[in-house]
Structure 1
Amino acid sequence: MPDIQLSRAHTLGLPAARQHAQRWGEKATEKFGVQCEYEPGDAQDLLRFSGNGVDGRLVVTASAFELEAELGFLAAMFKDSIEAKLNAQFDELLTKA
């Protein structure tokens, strides 16, 4: 079971959601040093991220973002802070959309 799960519904459609997810991955790489791998698909995309004690995935569809993350031992001590930052990032992402 993932340590962090978040879900955000949106009305962006897949092309715009894809752009936002790719931008989020780029920022996560710059700010937190995680490695991201983006796999586009016909009905949904998958962004996998890993590094600095966090492994996870972001599923991107035409109507939702679904994030799941597993935290390593040290990162788990900061779970609440990490989860709050992720929530704030997705809230900001969707208010700017």
Structure 2
Amino acid sequence: MAAEEPLQEEWRQHYPLFPRLLFAQDSTSPAGITTRIKALHAAATDPALAGFLREVPVLVAPLVDVLQGGPAEPVWRPVQDPRSTVSWSQSHTR
């Protein structure tokens, strides 16, 4: 009897890279969203998260930007460098 190939999760067929962790910020003012982005950036400096952040890029964006530009547009900010913007599918660079 031939060995069967293990089934691949459905999402891996469409997204061969591990999906990014995306935070879409809403329900507050623009200043509140900026504060939340700064808090995520501060949390990203924790040395205990360094390995995770190398493997799984964490991106944040105001929901209004995602809705206006579209989720595939470069509206996402890497938590390690919130001044830059990338698309969610871009490789995360530091």
What interval of TM-score do these two structures reach, taking the shorter chain for normalisation?
0.3 to 0.5
Which of the two has higher C-alpha Rg? 2
Normalising by structure 2, report the TM-score.
0.36
Considering fraction of residues, name the structure with more strand: 1
Q: Which has the higher contact order (CA 8 A, sep 6+)?
A: 1
Normalising by structure 1, report the TM-score.
0.35
